[in-house]
Amino acid sequence: EPGSAPRTLCVLGSTGSIGTSTLDLVARNPERFQVDVLTANANVELLASQARQFNARMAVVADPDRYDELKTALSGTNIAVAAGPDALNEAADRDTDYVMAAIVGAAGLEPTLTAARRGACVALANKECLVSAGTVFLEAVDEADATLLPVDSEHNAIFQVLETHNRDAIDKIILTASGGPFRTWEKARMEAATPAEAVAHPNWSMGAKISVDSATMMNKGLEVIEAYYLFGVETDQLDVLVHPQSVIHSMVAYTDGSVLAQLGSPDMRTPIAHTMAWPARMPAPAARLDLAEIAQLTFEAPDLERFPALRLALAALQTGGAAPTLLNAANEVGVAAFLGGEIGFLDIAAIVEDTMSRGVAQGLSGAPASLDDVLQLDVAGRAIAAELVTARRS
């Protein structure tokens, strides 16, 4: 609102793809926002330059060994400096109006949960958090009466539809998927796919981990689980539809046969801006959608045979209990090993599948009931997956 005080922001993961897009929107709307705290994993140089540019009150680096480096980079300013995992939680616990949760992976779980527990307005990009700790996270949101705004473009689209339409009359939620860079590839070709090929997404420019997830289509599987927790529908009400142009970001079908969708250019600054200004709107620089120019929107059913990661994620949602946490942990290990050149592209899903069955064999099946349970299960899943990586590496 004009004349009102700027919204104060905490950006968890400010140096990443979502984090830098968030700060780009702050730079374009300086009167609306005041950056309070920024965090990064290890990129001190970018973190320090962001902290200076946005006149942040605090900068936090997760890697405790980089405290001195950050302190030096910010000397001569009034910006407070901290390092380590506890500092990350303290950053999330600061009294800001808005928290962008944009750390990648289960590493973002604790600080995001900390923000939820203080009843913050949390813009959630970190989908792994809901996949790994869905029930625990939602309980924290409920208990503290936190506000959860989905950033993921599909979920943001669904949220926008549901904001104005009756939630009781939902028939299906239809998550669209670009299909990723290997949409038309045969499995034999995927077997030899390189990290560079996997991260070259046709429509979106994103961090390495989510880009690989898009190539395996695990990303869509994680998003179905994310949608299950965010929107409180039954598992059989969630459908996936491949739509290579990434113009329709998702749809909601109602019991009367109506289907409502949100459309836009594939630019994350649109859903991010939606959460930053919510419940109002603010301008964002995404290219205006020109449907006459695009001319054709196409659709196809997902191929669960060529994309086993999607099949595994859908199965984990059906199984419930420990399965989604294990799936997420194994996938993070598999993706990191693939990006590190240790295993092949198809090994990622194979490692997830084997981790799931070994986990069951080891009695890891009960639903985690607390953050500690989630973290233990996550560690156990990572250990199994790491063994499987070692076995395949030779």
Q: How far apart are CA 353 and CA 311, in angstroms?
A: 10
Q: Which does 61 bind (CB under 5 to 8 A by kind): Mg ion, ligand NAD, none?
A: none
- Strand-pair category, 248-254 with 259-263: antiparallel
Beta-sheet strand order (sheet of 80-83): 80-83, 58-61, 33-40, 7-12, 98-101, 121-124, 147-150
* Contact in structure between 176 and 158 (CB atoms under 8 Å): no
Nearest to 115 by CA among 210, 126, 47, 49: 126
Considering beta carbons, is residue 102 or 252 the nearer one to ligand NAD? 102
> For residue 132, how many C-alpha atoms fall within 13 Å in the half-sphere facing its CB?
31
| Distance in angstroms (rounded) separating the CA atoms of residues 28 and 280 | 16
Computed on alpha carbons and rounded to an integer, the radius of gyration of the chain in Å comes to: 20
Which of ligand NAD, Mg ion, none is residue 102 near (CB under 5 to 8 Å by kind)? ligand NAD
What is the distance between the alpha carbons of residues 125 and 109, in angstroms, rounded to a whole number?
11
Q: And the tokens for 5?
A: 């005080």
Name residue 388's beta-bridge partners: none
Residue whose CB is nearest to ligand NAD in the complex, by number: 16
Give the amino acid at 374.
V
CB-based contact 65:29 (threshold 8 Å): no
Is residue 126 involved in binding ligand NAD (CB under 6 A)? Answer: yes
248 known member of a binding site: no
Query: Which of 50, 63, 114, 60 lies closest to 87, judged by CA?
Result: 60
Burial (CB count within 10 angstroms: exposed 0-12, middle 13-18, buried 19+), residue 105: buried
Spatial separation of the C-alpha atoms in residues 70 and 93, rounded to whole Å = 21
Picked from ligand NAD, Mg ion, none, the partner binding residue 335 (CB below 5 to 8 A depending on kind) is none
Q: Which stretch binds ligand NAD (CB under 6 A): 99-107, 190-198, 322-330, 386-394?
A: 99-107
User: Is 128 a binder of Mg ion (CB under 5 A)?
Assistant: no
| 127 labelled binding-site residue | yes
90 known member of a binding site: no
> For ligand NAD, what does the binding mask look like between residues 303 and 342, x meaning CB under 6 A?
----------------------------------------
Residue 62 lies near ligand NAD (rule: CB under 6 A) = yes
Span 219-278, contacts to ligand NAD by CB under 6 A: 268
Q: By rule CB under 6 A, what count of residues binds ligand NAD? A: 26
Closer CB to ligand NAD, 326 or 364, in the complex: 326
What are the contacts of 65-71 at 24+ separation with CB within 8 A? 66/42, 69/44, 70/44
**Which residues pair with residue 254 across a beta bridge?**
170
Which 193-222 residues touch ligand NAD, going by CB under 6 A?
204, 206-207, 209-210
Q: State residue 248 phi and psi, 5-degree precision.
A: -85, 115
Task: Decide: is 152 part of the binding site for Mg ion (CB under 5 A).
Answer: yes
Within 8 A by CB and 6+ apart from 240, the residues are: 174, 175, 176, 177, 220, 224, 302, 310
Among residue numbers 6 through 45, which ones bind ligand NAD (CB under 6 A)? 13-19, 40-41, 43
The window from 154-162, 167-175, 259-267, 373-381 that contacts Mg ion (CB under 5 A) reads 154-162
213 binds Mg ion (CB under 5 A): no
Please check if 207 is assigned to a binding site.
Answer: yes
Using the contact rule CB under 6 A, the part of the chain among 119-127, 161-169, 274-282, 323-331 near ligand NAD is 119-127
- The answer to whether 104 contacts ligand NAD (rule: CB under 6 A) is yes
223 in a labelled binding site: yes
Residues 134-163 that bind ligand NAD (CB under 6 A): 152
**Does the annotation place 15 within a ligand binding site?**
yes
Nearest residue (CB) to ligand NAD, 208 versus 241: 208
Task: Tell me whether residue 271 or residue 368 sits nearer to ligand NAD (CB atom).
Answer: 271
Tokens standing for residue 338: 């693939």
Report whether 187 belongs to an annotated binding site.
Answer: no
Residues in contact with Mg ion by the rule CB under 5 A: 152-154
Binding site as annotated, residues for NADPH? 15-18, 43, 126, 128, 207
Residues in contact with ligand NAD by the rule CB under 6 A: 13-19, 40-41, 43, 62, 102-104, 107, 125-128, 152, 204, 206-207, 209-210, 268
